Structure 1
Amino acid sequence: MTTEPHGSAAEVILVVDDDPDIVRVVEVNLRLHGFDVMTAHSGAEALDVLENRRPDLAIVDLMMPGMDGLELTRRLRADPMVTALPIIVLTAKALTSDKVAGLAAGADDYVVKPFDTSELIARVRATLRRNQEAREVSPLTGLAGNTRILREIADRLKSGTDYAVCYIDIDRFKAVNDVYGFGRGDQFISSLARSLRRATVAAGLPPAFLGHVGGDDFVVVCHPLQLKPITTKAILDFEAAADELYDPIDAARGYLEMVDRRGKVFEVNLVTLSIGVALSTMRVFEHPGEVVAVASEMKTKAKKVHGSYVAIDQRTDRLVLPSQREPESDAAAEAGSGA
């Protein structure tokens, strides 16, 4: 495995191939054309590399022992943190079926071995250009942004399958920024992204979608049966991670101290999560914007409850969740502390 330090403006390419000669040739040519390069010699090693650094594109050999390129591609597409990563697959076979298999697994393009390096460089540049134009990605979290979020919800609407849309944000996040500054605030946002990622990956199939609206706002799109495991795990994970981000004195006493304009000191509780949920099983939505509006409305209701809380739209009687208590008002289904 080879990794380069951050700080370079060059786009980073991950090369995954079990043949060290192929890796060396591709790496040298990419560097000659101004790219930064990370390398891995197996699918498992590639997943380890991605835990520490996110590339701009991956070149993946299909024919590898153990986890082959198809399985690696499927796993990358199922991981919210790298689901938008452009992938070019390398195949030693010119058969149409192998090309189709790579594209069906989620690859953006393919190159057949033996390949001309100038063709590979051209395809890398073209794929990067297409993806930069088509996918907006949060620079802080690496997650898909508003356009991709709405497209995901629209796809669910068209498919006719059941889905849940969760709108998530951090309670009292402004206080964190005011006390610690934006740098620490970004750490809380990144921590929430990681917690949500772990929760969505742990939920298994079908793959849940995770997007970053901006600031401390996130959206998860999943199957209704995945709703409780995802929200419960995310809340518990984030609250534990957030405790480590506070100054020790604030974490120990359980609140932040702030000063108002008149110089009076007052207490602000530590952060929690508010999650609003819209369900396709409750009503028929005509447009992605309607789904987001309902989820946002429920998030506002969740903020009225102390502690981390999940508020689900309950305005029809078509859905009964076994894990869901009777609603106190329009909202129900709690998870985490204080609910």
Structure 2
Amino acid sequence: MFGTTPGKNKTKNLHFRSTLLKVTSLLLFTGLMAISPAQDKKVLQKVVIALHWQPQTQFAGYYTALIKGIYKKYGLDVVIRPTGLKDNAVDLLKSGDAQFMTNFLSMAIEEYDKGLNLKLIAQTSQKSALCIAGLKSRGINKLSDLNGKKISIWQVGFRELPQAFLTKYKINASFVPIRSSVNLFLMGGTNAQVVMDYNELNTIIFSGIREDDITLFRIADYGLNVPEDGIYCTSEYLSKHKDICERFVKATAEGWIEAFKNKEEAVRYCLKLKRKAGQSANYAHQMKMLTAMENIIQVDGGKLNTSLDRKSFELAVQVLKDAGRIKNTIKYDSFFNPVVR
């Protein structure tokens, strides 16, 4: 009979098992390296976005993109830095402590006119939220009723458009500067109040004023649509890191779409941040804010519109020039550099 001896069979089996173990270990190690968090984190590009105000659902798209891992999907390790109390977004962008910032279009134009070489890379807000609110029970039913009346307005950064609105419609009213609250209006110290429809309008409603008693003049509906929030970076950063800018805008757009789909989750996260910062947090207020933002930020066919309307930009420049806030006629194409079309 022909065949192999038991000793030789045993040697071959041991050699085969040893080889198989080595190959399996190598494949397992290679697979672990491919999915290793440390390896994944190494390829993420860290950037800071400075928001121009404190945590609230006005910025829900950014927070949602962060907590849902959307920024990471685009290869970004994003730090969100709220400002507006002890520091401001413009200063962080100037110093390089932030690569991106949000800001109102009119305020960014002023900074550009002063010499800050920034670029608007995405106009997230498409409709101005600025309004003047009055009460029917106090005789404010139509625009002409504002004649001879006092209107509460914030001290800094919001006067130009409401003033242009009054001038355009020949309304002789006076502005009363306030710090931030709507208390003077609620107590009858003024006849009307400049508000953002996603914020101070809600404060008035939640103070006990019936919505059907409020007469609201939406400035955008009177031919003066200067949208607010946009995403900015410096011209230098854009020229060196256009790919990062594009990825950041795309991820943020996805964050907004996700926030509108899952409003409750977005609201609760913003409330958590507000409480952590020691700020008052009201679920109903933040939910109404996010719902209002959905009307301001235009999502069409599952896509976010981040373009800047040329006429709105030119209107903003003209309003600021007429008010003496800027000296130069700023060109649309030098200011707006979209990274996503």
TM-score, scaled relative to structure 1: 0.22
Is the helix fraction higher in 1 or 2? Answer: 2
Larger Rg: 2
TM-score, scaled relative to structure 2: 0.22
| Bigger RCO (CA 8 Å, 6+ sep) | 2
